[in-house]
């Protein structure tokens, strides 16, 4: 007996949508039809051919009662773009619900769409609707997810005055970004609003990392993102901003997946200063 806990959205599509071409629908999976499921390396889940993911009891942290009750989408799950194959075998993109990431996912890959395809390749079209389904172009969660994948998010532009640091003294990182970003646009089902909140994570280049920092980094003396370099040499500093967001549209609301933007200071110099006593 397993728990039908976690079920994913399938994808269907139909009419053209002004900004983003065809739109996909995510609807409750057809429970009677799927007959094919497969295990991956994760001992907790199996994946089924209707796009659902089923959590297997006895293998992890499942908490739902058994009996086939449906929680869809499961709490905390968010929409991810996903590479798939159209009926003719050509690659296409769809959206499907997936479990939240434990650790933020692919590290160091800002704004990665979490579809493991090179972004430089020819744009991949949307997947067509499954056979027999027309698709719902007005799914609010899907509209919000599509916008979230496309809107430009603020990027940190890190700087440490005066352009170098002194070993043994605090360096004050200025992030020069935003930790809140509000996006709105009109859609066929009403005004969409996305409220994004960013938090900074800093890799100081010497093996130390700090974060999350929920406030902007500012210069001395009020700045709160600081670091003390020990050794005099150059460092590559990476400032990553992880964005979480909520959306509201047509009386509905939800959470969007995490996205990231980054800024860098390469070859940042930490100098050593010695006192010289002259008689």
Partner 1 sequence: MGLLLLAACSPGDEPNAQPRGATVPTAAPTTTTTNPYAVPPVIDAAYVNRVLAGLDAVFGDVLRTVIASRTIDSAAFERLKGLYADTAQFNIALAIIQDEGRRDFASYLPNPGENRTTVAELITVASSCVFMRVDRDSSAVAKQENPRFRNQWIALKRLDSPSLHNPTGWAYLYEGFDRNLQAPAKNPCMSV
Q: Which is nearer to partner 1, 17 or 80 (CB)?
A: 80
β pairing state of 190-203 and 53-55:
unpaired
- Per CB under 8 A, the list member of 36, 75, 123, 162 interacting with partner 1 is 36
Using the rule CB under 8 A, is 273 a contact of partner 1? no
Q: Which is nearer to partner 1, 1 or 277 (CB)?
A: 1
- Per CB under 8 A, the list member of 82, 146, 242, 260 interacting with partner 1 is 82
Backbone angles phi, psi at 258, to 5 degrees: -75, 135
DSSP reduced 3-state for 212: strand
How many chain residues touch partner 1 (CB under 8 A)?
Answer: 49
Find the shortest distance in angstroms from Cβ 58 to partner 1: 7
Contact between residue 76 and residue 61 where contact means Cβ atoms under 8 Å apart: no
- From residue 99, alpha-carbon distances to 44, 76, 237, 267 in Å are 12, 7, 31, 38
Using the rule CB under 8 A, is 40 a contact of partner 1? yes
Any idea what DSSP says for residue 56? P
Find the shortest distance in angstroms from Cβ 96 to partner 1: 7
Helices (H), 151-192: none
Tokens of 18: 């002004």
The string of DSSP codes covering 49-62 is TTS-EEEPTTSS--
Residues 28, 45: Cα–Cα separation, whole Å: 18
Per-residue contact flags (x/-) with partner 1 for residues 4 to 33, judged by CB under 8 A: x-----------------------------
Per-residue contact flags (x/-) with partner 1 for residues 42 to 61, judged by CB under 8 A: xxx-xxxx-x-xx-x-xx--
Using the rule CB under 8 A, is 87 a contact of partner 1? yes
Rule CB under 8 A: which residues touch partner 1?
A: 1-2, 4, 34-44, 46-49, 51, 53-54, 56, 58-59, 80, 82-87, 89, 91, 96, 98-99, 101-103, 105-107, 109, 114-118, 121
């Amino acid at each position: 007996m397993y728990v039908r806990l976690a079920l994913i959205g399938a994808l269907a599509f139909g009419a053209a949508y002004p900004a983003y071409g065809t739109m996909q629908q995510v609807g409750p999976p057809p429970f009677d039809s799927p007959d094919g499921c497969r295990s991956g390396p994760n001992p907790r889940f199996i994946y089924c051919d209707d796009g659902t993911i089923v959590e297997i009891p006895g293998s992890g942290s499942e908490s739902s009662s058994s009996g086939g009750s449906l929680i869809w989408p499961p709490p905390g799950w968010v929409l991810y773009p996903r590479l798939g194959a159209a009926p003719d075998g050509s690659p296409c993109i769809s959206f499907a619900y997936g479990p939240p990431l434990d650790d933020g996912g692919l590290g160091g890959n800002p704004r990665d769409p979490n579809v493991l395809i090179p972004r430089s390749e020819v744009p991949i079209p949307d997947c067509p609707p499954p056979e027999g389904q027309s698709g719902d172009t007005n799914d609010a969660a899907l509209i919000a997810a599509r916008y979230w994948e496309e809107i430009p998010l603020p990027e940190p532009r890190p700087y440490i005055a005066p352009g170098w640091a002194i070993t043994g003294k605090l360096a004050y990182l200025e992030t020069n970004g935003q930790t809140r970003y509000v996006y709105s646009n009109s859609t066929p089902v009403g005004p969409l609003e996305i409220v994004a909140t960013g938090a900074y994570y800093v890799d100081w280049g010497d093996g130390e990392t700090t974060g999350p920092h929920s406030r902007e980094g500012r210069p001395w003396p009020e700045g709160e993102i600081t670091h003390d370099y020990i050794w005099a040499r150059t460092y590559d500093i990476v400032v990553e901003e992880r964005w979480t967001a909520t959306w509201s549209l047509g009386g509905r609301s939800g959470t969007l997946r995490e996205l990231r933007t980054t800024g860098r200071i390469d070859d940042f110099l930490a100098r050593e200063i010695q006192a010289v006593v002259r008689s």
